[in-house]
Structure 1
């Protein structure tokens, strides 16, 4: 019986010991769980930050391809290799195809290597030439300069011949015929061209281009019929189309804007605030802004205006400098702005406060500019004191 009591006591002691460990285990589990959640949050934060940087990089690329690529490389979103940059351009997510063409057309060694790597990502095997051209010319927009087009089409011809050996005697044949097809597309489908080329004329134009020999009439006929039936789908010539720049803006809405002319007329404009810039449009459906106001080194303040309520204005940090901005004039030309202030009017006091808050958060101050302004102020006070 004593042995039984001892066993029971030992069991009770063991149970109490396990029970005593429960709070400690609970604390340890809670600590581990918190650590895991923290790691998840950190990873999520990093992912979100990288995604935001990538979107910024795309916007920068669409406005200035060179600076956009530099930004993505500096932030380790792209490797500084032709292959990595080419893959980014080939994927093309959120990228302006005119900007892609501009970047690929540059004569710098790195850009030429990117162009070569970009073309290598196209698979033309077993495609007839016109099909390959359709695919190639849809991946970017050909720039206007002849030298750039020459380099691009030369790379295309080389790639097509590599993936389809034996179709042409040389890459020169492919190059010449490709240009001939592009010209045919223009002649057949441009309304300003009155005299449309016939099949016979197209065949005649391409006599002897295959290393002195003729290409099969059946091949030229199939190319002609394909273009006649279906013109090339060329990316829209959007030039400075900033559509992708305005995804997920910091703020957007209607404001009245005071003009900078002699009579200071007020006009209703659609404003978009994004990436430290304020863009304004005549209509919400416009692709291109009427004006762009970079917010760097600007300040904002409320102000009273006798003609309009709920006003605020942007002004240069020292109050005297002309604000760096641009707009389109009546002829559609881009001209520099000549404002030292930009004055806007909101429809309500709440809307005015919201705009001021958003713009204040977006304004980027330049440390060098601050230092220079302080030095100017100090020099000015020294002159007065002397």
Structure 2
């Protein structure tokens, strides 16, 4: 039997009220929409989007050092660098003057330590290699030469290979006695590094001298 029109309206209204309790309220803003989509994504995978892709803000990978030099330290470094340059220029003119200048400015100790001058000779690109050779071959600096040679690692090297490395650090002087002094220390050290392969140091010296003559 057909219901009256008014009764139909009441039934329809009651149905809408009953069903609205089980429906999700539509989002009313963009922020609410974003939250809704995030919840849907989380419910789908069981893992929040942020956890799967890492933090939204990228962290700084470089750790800032807490041991940065102070202004006074920077000034001292700059000053020492300037003094070292001046001392190197003096050394290239006269090694004794250069060393005395560096001692007066407290770059070198007084009395001079052999390890200081060796580091100066090997690590300073401002020095003239010809002057280095003359300084090392001077008989007054025999103790420096003896320790200088030991800074080279000639293990498992042919004598010509070791000699090439040795002579790359300085230029040989022109006088035969000075050349002999440099090669004698080289030959003894190379032979020691290679388990005394040759009969004696004189044999190693002769072989090294022959390599120079051939080149």
Pairwise same-fold verdict (TM > 0.5): yes
Give the aligned CA root-mean-square deviation in angstroms.
1.4
Query: Aligned match of 2:86 in 43, 48, 56?
Result: 56
> How much does 1:46 deviate?
1.3
Query: Aligned match of 2:137 in 105, 113, 116?
Result: 105
User: Deviation string for 1:179-234 (max 9, x for gaps)?
Assistant: 1111111xxxxxxxxxxxxxxxxxxxxxxxxxxxxxxxxxxxxxxxxxxxxxxxxx
Give the alignment's TM-score, normalised by structure 2: 0.64
> Is 2:143 the partner of 1:91?
no
* Aligned equivalents of 1:75, 1:174: Cα separation in 2: 42
User: Deviation string for 1:327-367 (max 9, x for gaps)?
Assistant: xxxxxxxxxxxxxxxxxxxxxxxxxxxxxxxxxxxxxxxxx
Give the alignment's TM-score, normalised by structure 1: 0.36
> How much does 1:41 deviate?
2.2
> Is 2:177 the partner of 1:147?
yes
The equivalent of 2:213 in structure 1 is 183
* Aligned equivalents of 2:178, 2:103: Cα separation in 1: 24
The residue matched to 2:70 in structure 1 has which SS?
A: helix
> What number of residue pairs does the alignment pair up?
145
* Aligned equivalents of 2:195, 2:201: Cα separation in 1: 10
Provide closer, same or farther for how the CA distance between residues 166 and 103 of structure 1 changes in structure 2, counting only shifts above 3 A.
Answer: closer
> How much does 1:92 deviate?
3.3
The residue matched to 1:95 in structure 2 has which SS?
A: coil
Provide closer, same or farther for how the CA distance between residues 166 and 107 of structure 1 changes in structure 2, counting only shifts above 3 A.
Answer: closer
* Aligned equivalents of 2:198, 2:73: Cα separation in 1: 53
Gaps of 5+ in 2: 1-68
The equivalent of 2:161 in structure 1 is 131
Higher relative contact order (CA 8 A, sep 6+): 2
* Aligned equivalents of 1:115, 1:49: Cα separation in 2: 30
The equivalent of 2:19 in structure 1 is none
Structure showing the higher helix proportion among its residues: 2
Residues 1-386 of structure 1: pairs in structure 2 closer than 5 A: 40-79=70-109, 80-108=112-140, 111-185=141-215
> How much does 1:62 deviate?
1.3
* Aligned equivalents of 1:90, 1:132: Cα separation in 2: 16
Q: Which of these two proteins has the greater Rg computed from alpha carbons?
A: 2
* Aligned equivalents of 2:77, 2:129: Cα separation in 1: 27
Gaps of 5+ in 1: 1-38, 186-386
* Matched-pair contact (CA < 8 Å) for 1:105–1:149: yes
* Matched-pair contact (CA < 8 Å) for 1:90–1:121: no
* Aligned equivalents of 2:124, 2:148: Cα separation in 1: 11
* Aligned equivalents of 1:155, 1:65: Cα separation in 2: 21
